[in-house]
């Protein structure tokens, strides 16, 4: 039996290196998945209220808090992916705070209706 002298190729095609082609492909994937044509009913960026909670379509959650200073939505995401380093000892859901931008500015959250607007006073 003869073995090959060519090493086997394992892993992702293209490796882990960050290239312009991969960045472009990722941007196009976001546009195809989250910026579908005919998104009627999305609240425009200029009409959002700072400190308000919105119901909409997002990548990680359907409810988000609008931060007018940072111009991002904050979503709370719960997932069941375990940390491989602590898997047998620590199991359960992981809760994370994530940030998503508005779809008009290239993000992945499309607010459809306001849930509550907190009255905030700046001192």
Q: 113 lies in a domain? A: yes
Residue 14 scores a pLDDT above 80: no
User: What pLDDT score does 46 carry?
Assistant: 86
Mean pLDDT of 3-7: 62
CB distance 49 to 108 below 8 Å: no
Dihedral-angle region of residue 53 (phi above 0 means left; psi in -120 to 50 means alpha; beta otherwise):
beta
User: What pLDDT score does 70 carry?
Assistant: 93
Q: 17 lies in a domain? A: no
Q: 79 lies in a domain? A: yes
pTM of the prediction? 0.58
Mean pLDDT of 10-18: 63
* C-alpha span between 42 and 48 (Å, rounded): 11
Q: Using one digit for the tens of pLDDT, what is the confidence trace for 69-117?
A: 999 999 988 876 776 777 777 767 777 889 998 888 878 899 998 888 7
Q: Which domain holds residue 86?
A: 40-117
Q: 57 lies in a domain? A: yes
Q: Using one digit for the tens of pLDDT, what is the confidence trace for 17-59?
A: 777 777 777 766 766 666 565 556 788 888 888 999 999 988 8
* C-alpha span between 114 and 56 (Å, rounded): 9
- Contacts of residue 4, Cβ cutoff 8 Å, sequence gap at least 6: none
Q: 14 lies in a domain? A: no
User: What pLDDT score does 71 carry?
Assistant: 92
Q: 22 lies in a domain? A: no
User: What pLDDT score does 100 carry?
Assistant: 92
Total domain count, the chain: 1
User: What pLDDT score does 64 carry?
Assistant: 94
Q: 31 lies in a domain? A: no
Q: 100 lies in a domain? A: yes
């Amino acid at each position: 039996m003869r073995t090959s002298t060519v090493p086997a190729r394992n892993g992702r095609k293209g490796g882990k290196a960050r290239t312009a082609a991969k960045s472009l492909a990722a941007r196009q994937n976001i546009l195809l998945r989250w910026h579908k044509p005919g998104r009627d009913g999305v609240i425009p960026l200029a009409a959002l209220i700072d400190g308000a909670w919105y119901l909409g379509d997002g990548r990680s959650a359907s409810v988000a808090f609008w931060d007018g200073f940072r111009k991002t939505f904050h979503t709370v995401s719960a997932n069941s992916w375990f940390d491989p380093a602590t898997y047998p000892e620590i199991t359960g859901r992981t809760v994370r705070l994530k940030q998503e931008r508005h779809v008009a500015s290239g993000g992945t959250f499309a607010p459809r209706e306001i849930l509550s607007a907190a009255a905030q006073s700046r001192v």
